[in-house]
Amino acid sequence: MLIVSELVGNAVLHAAGPYALTLSLEPGRAGIAVSDGTADLSGRHRDAQREEPGGRGLKIIQALGADVFVSPASRGKQVIAVLTW
């Protein structure tokens, strides 16, 4: 749930709609994809400063063991987190 919450929250906070959440489950793998209406793939992310309250979400997702990908979608972009076991 933390990964879903972070990806959806990022989309709503930083991108335009429409938004879509897609979940997939296969043996040994779970995928979480969030699509939004903003085509910008530049990833203008920087490391958060110690005193800043935000800016660490994708690093937390990766620390939980997920691989994170960003790709163009038909109407914007898709951010995908994949957990494998």
Domain residue limits, the chain = 2-42+54-84
How far is Cα 23 from Cα 44, in angstroms, rounded to an integer?
26
pLDDT at 57: 84
pLDDT at 40: 87
Per residue in 65-78, pLDDT (tens digit) is 999 999 998 899 99
How far is Cα 17 from Cα 82, in angstroms, rounded to an integer?
23
pLDDT at 32: 98
Q: Which amino acid is at 60?
A: I
pLDDT at 41: 81
Per residue in 35-71, pLDDT (tens digit) is 999 998 875 556 666 776 666 788 899 999 999 999 9
Paired strand residues for 69 = 80
The CATH code for residues 2-42+54-84 is 3.30.565.10
